[in-house]
Structure 1
């Protein structure tokens, strides 16, 4: 047993580099987290939309990751490799198959062919022979070793399935050469003392070499019938197929007069078995002889082999690996507890707002929906109100919980004349807990404009008053409310549908005329009408939707972006 210490300078530097990169990465993230928290402190309304983890929790997570990596690296440098030898013993019998692959093994007197019958039988009994060693020699006009000795039944099955009558280039059948090749293998160190040779053939011996003596237990499997049958062959290269004739050609008709009929030479096979004190079984129709082989091998004395294996066992790093896994697990728990996607969104907010500096919140230029909000604002400014609303609807797919998007949709609806839809959306904004006081004030103001356009001056006045209760400095709401009150107190003239008596009651009295410097009733009436026209004009689409600085500035419908 030898002991060596693990040491690799290259691995050492690579590991230290990984830890350094992780440390820098964690430091940068903590720095940005600190800056984002500072930014939220300047704008408290952001805390409702973006929840951030505490710097302490984030630092614990990054620290756990770095410590876990450090312990993982330490495990590399505290690993000791021990070389050990393990021995194992195995008892088995060596089974050598001597298989005839001459052209006659393709005769169809056995279903489907003689060779295919052998393949099926061997594959079927292989599981019962597991634990023994297998080898194979194939022969026809010559012989060669096809499968080396192996205990791997799966590999041996692959060799069996690959058998074919075209494997040996020299045609015919030469039992003498097959026996000689088998004797070479049996006398070598490749086979152990307890061994069995299984000869598989139809008994035809074109060279008439006669039976041979083998130094092993012998079992002979005969395949074929005494009546015989035609030999089927297919050529994959020429795609020709049929039954072999005396001239060497192929005839598709098996009953043709020139077709060769191959018969089982059972006497030859029995002589081979008798010479070697072996056993003979005809497996053409009955496979029980194959299971006799299984019983024979089970009863035979087994070869005991010792397998010596050298293994390399590494230990000493387990403590560090356990600690590393523990800190990695702790880091995962912390991360799953506090990491939220809002961190990334808030980081983009900072970067898009001029690196930790921005103006008032309602002018925030961050566009969570990509460029869709910006495009909607551009369409709005270009008076493409339908396209503008469609853009804002698309933006809702990304930020459906942002009331500012709904505010912009309401403004587009107002411009298109969808007054009731605009009012309903503004009411939703007013009720939304995520809406800021500034946003609610502007929603009330826009509702006042919409009600005025519908000639519902009572609700218009109420909306303006609600807007001013939230934002007393909203000048545009003050102006419009002033016009409404003047109208209510008789400041407008000749509204459609009023009687002559009503119009007289709405005219200014004499004291008012004197106070304003008007001396004739006609002038007073004209002045009153002019004032009423101006007041009504303030509620017309051209007045509420467009700024008229010369009359009453800042009465345009509000939009957030």
Structure 2
């Protein structure tokens, strides 16, 4: 909630104090003032006709009307509505290089992370303009079309990573093609702008030809160099099963879904030499200058500000009749209606009416209730939370969300109440709703609590196979929280703890035995309550007949209430079974 003209709030307080001071003076000197206009007998009659409680009730009505009238002039606003507006704006497509060279850490914390932060800054500078998003590597696609909904676009930017496009390499021409397709059907007089983030290591020989074609179609390209001329090695984690490269920090292979061993290697060429990725500034400069744009290296804290002020802001803005603009709702009607109601009540109040003070107070509260219902509900929710009544607080916050479903702060408070009440699924849903906010501090707290919620959901599970993916999600949320606030020791501590729990769960899965000795008893645990035992007979090889007939069925894997034979025992039995004998 905010105010269009907050100065009127101060005016309402001053006028209310003025009315109160005048009323006190009138009450203390009422007989002297009335004697100036009527006879002494009439003075006594008039003063006896209005008791003290009625006088102060009428004074309260006037003060309330003055305050509410000034609040209406202050123009209170809360809630949002999408309106179609003939707004003038720029149409800007952002192309992001998602090749593996963007994992190099010559920019802190990495080229990809630094690019994502720069895009967030550019969106803030270009508030009111329409932005779209194109990830590209060996191919390109339009992930988010042109929109003024920056919150939705920020979520798409956070999802960009080097595993988004399976085709490797850096084909700048593919990104330019995708941008030209996205701008097809736009007005001829509208300026088409492409901001391209890349390290410039182009593997496409047709890039310059695509630039010439884009120039003829009126596309202006600004290039941002992500990296340094000295370059850096590209970190990677190779899968031990399929040997495919994976982004460091992943727990499972993106190709075969096998578990990855912790560690870090570097991408190597055919000769086994480590590949150093260097920023190709000459390519990016030539690409930008050909289309009338310019090139900037991503360094320092003002790169995006220079880009917007010197490159984008001077461009003429075109009129977009289909632009949906989010505007705050004007709510002055509510305090204005309350002020009019109080004045009518004071005006129609019969002189000398002998009603009880409690009845008059009830009437005033009934008139004020519609105006203060939302504030009272929010206050009640906070009070219930402080008292430890988390379930009741959750109900209050969800009632508020029915009237304002897109409020991130209400979602965050509801998630906190649900978490304390032990309703972790509802807490996770509300914390995800709180992520739709441009407030980075609120995003950090939402990611942190979402990590706690996912950890508690996994803790309630007993099977390690179910716990691992849930805890991996918790680790991702804690990692996002540490990236938003690297100084938060709690997020770092929880991230380390969750990863330790994941390692423990993985070790439990490896406790099943593939070999059982004769007359041996193998015990293994699937959970903390039950223990399963496998025994093999005969006790020694001397008691095996000359031509035995074997019949054994071992259920050595138990999950989700179902026992089955593991693949390892099947393979061992097939390899050891003699021809002509039973198995």
Fold similarity call, TM over 0.5: no
TM-score, normalised on structure 1? 0.38
Rg larger in structure: 1
Q: RCO greater where, 1 or 2, for CA within 8 Å and sep 6 or more?
A: 1
